Chains A and B, each alone.
Chain A
Amino acid sequence: MAIEAIDRTAKNIVLTVQEYSLFAYRAVMNLFHPPRYWTDFLMQCNIIGVGSTPIVLLSGFFTGGVLALQSQATLAQFGASAVTGRFVSLTMIRELGPVLTGIMVAGRNASSMASELGSMVVTEQIDAMRALGVDPMRKLVTPRLFACISMLFFLTTLADAFGIMGGGFVTVVMNHQNGTQYLSQAWEHLHYADIIQGLVKPLVSGFIIASVGCFYGMRTTGGTEGVGRSTIDAVVFSSVIIIAADFLLTQVLLTLFPPI
């Protein structure tokens, strides 16, 4: 019995991975053949990009602030509180900016994609769209995918900037250190390799958020309860995959662009 259960679970996992891969492949390839729904792309950019800006700015600002608080306490033990700016900017740009933005947007948009598409599936709106001769993959999934990838790029840069500002605010106002020193430390020790690392990650995170959110939405079954299940799965899996992909990507990027 136990072996049967393991066998069934393993097969389900392999099948889900296969379905997800085909789903993501179709969603990407749709961009290269008409029809393309640019209006839907722009609408999704507005929903994902503009809609997520407040939470990304706030989370970035306070993350930068808490980094400055924590690092200052530790760095002061070595007489190195002057390098707080360097620590905050590198951590925000290389790691926390992309990952936190990815997780915040996953919580907000992977859930909304899964619940919106899932509701459309259970109320037969997806079937109605297909019956009307419109491909839901092209109309609903591809615009969300590319809107999420592009918007996450810009949201991450905003989160990085506000994180450094948050760190600066704490450094100057709470830790009573020199602001110019903080900014020069943050700026001078930043290299292109750090920027590239910080801006490649959101592209991958954006792809993960939209593809996982839409995938779970489009395979919803079981009525309104199924919509809830899809929403949970979308948020959980997209968040976990973002962190796992970040780990792998960091390893690859550190190999390609070794720290100077």
Chain B
Amino acid sequence: MMETPQSDSPRPAPPEPEPSGPLRAGPLPSAPMPSAPVPSGPVHAQVSAPPADSAPVVAFRNVSIAFDGPPVLQDISFSIMPGETRILLGPAGVGKSVLLKLINGLLRPDQGSIELFGEEITTLSEEQLFPLRTRTGMVFQEGALFDSLSVRDNVAYQLIQERVPEDEIDRRVHEALTFVELDQTFNLFPDSLSGGMRRRVAIARALIRQPELILYDSPTGGLDPITSTTIIELIIKERDVYHSPSILVTHRLQDAFALSTHVFSTEHNCMLPLPNGESDPRTTYLMLEEGRLIFDGSLHELLHTDNKFVREFLL
């Protein structure tokens, strides 16, 4: 794992202690989405590190991008391995969302190479990118729901374009909405939903085709703590039930740490803290400062780094 320039400034205070009891945002459905392996059992980090020889789902090599001014991202290199959850930290305006949009080709870098599912995407045309993008799911900052379409049509957007039969669309939309606990919104329109509900519908839309990679762009930004916990619980549930690799952009440390220190229990149907200060080894961290990647490592490495900026950020 990459470490950043050393600093001899004092060690930062550790993050706020996690609550000892179960955090839950409400009853979760027992019926899982189809064809997904559902683990069961008590609270443990049911994890296994990806095989050392497995190919990365995403690989950035020396990527830089600028928009009519100084570079937004400079010389960024990192990868996302199968089953891995990467959390991208950094202050507002540092280029986190830009990095996320580079992953599925919504933006093109000025320099460097980006591999998605083993394919170099910087040389692909927009037409060639569409099939690759359908293999990813993306949750946008404000949800980005189509406000002229109902919740059903929003969630089913890809299925409708693929001309899936209506009965199957309805069944799969109900399953996806049940996963995010919003089945009652099936016929509603986005403007009648709260901010948190819109994010959860956006998660359902991103998950309906069971993507091979999920990109979360500040899914809890601007939400109250209770709603944020609900969203984080859904993300942990998705991670622990479907094991999809993902990258999550956030500047909220409590959300970032909850992803490492909690696991979803299908038995209790909620997320629970890992015992004895354990953390999920598949959940690792990246940090950006002024367009440069200054940290890439585990929670333990994050908490014990000597990098001055990281330590100030954690405070």
Contacts and interface: CB of A to CB of B under 8 A. Distances in A.
Task: Tell which of B104, B130, B136, B215 has the most Cβ of chain A within 10 Å.
Answer: B130
A152 B302 CA distance: 62
23 contacts: A35-B161, A120-B146, A124-B140, A124-B141, A125-B144, A125-B145, A125-B147, A127-B106, A127-B144, A128-B138, A128-B144, A130-B106, A130-B133, A131-B136, A131-B140, A132-B134, A132-B158, A132-B161, A133-B161, A134-B158, A134-B161, A135-B126, A135-B127
B133 A131 contact: yes
B245 to A, nearest CB: 16
B292 interface: no
B157 interface: yes
A123 interface: yes
What's the interface size class on B, roughly? 20 to 34
A102 B163 CA distance: 36
Nearest to A116: B148
Interface of B: 101, 104, 106, 126-127, 130-131, 133-134, 136, 138, 140-142, 144-147, 157-158, 161, 205, 215
A133 B205 CA distance: 13
Contacts of A130: 106, 126, 130, 133
Q: Sorted from nearest, which 9 A-B pairs have the closest CB atoms?
A: A133-B134, A128-B144, A124-B144, A131-B138, A133-B130, A133-B133, A124-B140, A132-B158, A125-B144
B109 to A, nearest CB: 16
Interface in A102-130: 120, 123-125, 127-130
Contacts of B136: 131
Contact of A131 (B104, B127, B147): B104
Interface of A: 35, 120, 123-125, 127-135
Contacts of A127: 101, 106, 140, 144
A134 B146 contact: no
Contacts of A125: 144-147
A128 B147 CA distance: 12
B133 to A, nearest CB: 5
A107 B130 CA distance: 34
Nearest to A35: B161
A135 B142 contact: no
A132 B135 CA distance: 9
B142 A124 contact: yes
A182 B161 CA distance: 54
A133 B126 CA distance: 10
Nearest to A135: B130
A133 B145 CA distance: 15
A35 B127 CA distance: 11
A122 to B, nearest CB: 10
Contact of B158 (A35, A124, A133, A135): A133
B133 A132 contact: yes
A180 B140 CA distance: 66
